[in-house]
Amino acid sequence: CHLRGFIEKYVRRWTSFFNPYIQITFHEYNGDNFCRSKVYSAIESYLIANSSLRASRLRADIANNSRKLILSMDDYEEVTDEFHGVKLWWSSHRSISKTPSLSLYPTAVEKRYYKLTFHGRHRELVTAYYLNHVIDQGKAIEVRNRQRKLYTNIPSESWSSYRKTMWSHVAFQHPATFQTLAMEPEKKKEIVDDLVAFSKGKDYYARIGKVWKRGYLLYGPPGTGKSTMIAAMANLLDYDVYDIELTAVKDNTELRRLLLETSSKAIIVIEDIDCSLDLTGRRKKKEKEEDGHTNKVDPVEKGAEEEGKEKNSRVTLSGLLNFIDGIWSACKGERLIVFTTNHVDQLDPALIRRGRMDKHIELSYCRFEAFKVLAKNYLELDSHRLFERIGQLMGETKMTPADVAEYLMPKIQSGCAETCLENLIRALELEKEETMLKAEEINVKKMPEMLVKEEAKEGSKED
Ligand X SMILES: Nc1ncnc2c1ncn2[C@@H]1O[C@H](COP(=O)(O)OP(=O)(O)OP(=O)(O)O)[C@@H](O)[C@H]1O
Binding interface with ligand X (CB under 6 A): 181-183, 222-228, 342, 363, 401-402, 405
The CB-of-225 to ligand X minimum distance in angstroms stands at: 3
Least Cβ distance, residue 222 to ligand X (angstroms): 3
Select 88 or 428, whichever has its Cβ closest to ligand X. 428
The residue nearest ligand X at its CB is 225
| Helix, strand or coil, per DSSP, at residue 387 | helix
CA atoms within 13 A on the CB side of 249: 24
CA 430, chain centre distance (Å): 39
| Alpha-carbon gap, residue 188 to 297, rounded angstroms | 52
Give the nearer residue to ligand X in terms of CB position, either 138 or 220: 220
Nearer to ligand X, 39 or 347 (CB): 347
Cβ distance to ligand X smaller for residue 126 or 405:
405
Residue 75 backbone phi and psi in degrees, to 5:
-60, 145
Cα 338 from Cα 230, distance rounded (Å)? 8
How far apart CA 183 and CA 365 sit, in angstroms, is 10
- Distance separating alpha carbons of residues 126 and 106, to the nearest angstrom: 39
SS3 state of residue 149: strand
CB of 168 to ligand X, least distance (A): 21
- Cα(390)–Cα(386) distance, integer angstroms: 6
Q: Which is nearer to ligand X, 252 or 276 (CB)?
A: 276
Q: How many C-beta neighbours within 10 Å does residue 70 have?
A: 17
45 within 8 A of 136, measured Cβ to Cβ: no
Comparing CB distances to ligand X, the nearer of 116 and 366 is 366
Cβ of residue 300: shortest distance to ligand X, in angstroms? 40
Query: In the bound complex, what is the minimum distance in angstroms from residue 253's beta carbon to ligand X?
Result: 29
User: In one letter, which amino acid is 76?
Assistant: Y
Closer to ligand X by CB, 81 or 406: give it.
Answer: 406
Q: How far is the CB of 182 from ligand X (least distance, A)?
A: 3
CB of 204 to ligand X, least distance (A): 30
Rounded distance, CA 243 to CA 340, Å?
11
Beta strands in 318-358, from DSSP E residues, in sequence order? 334-341
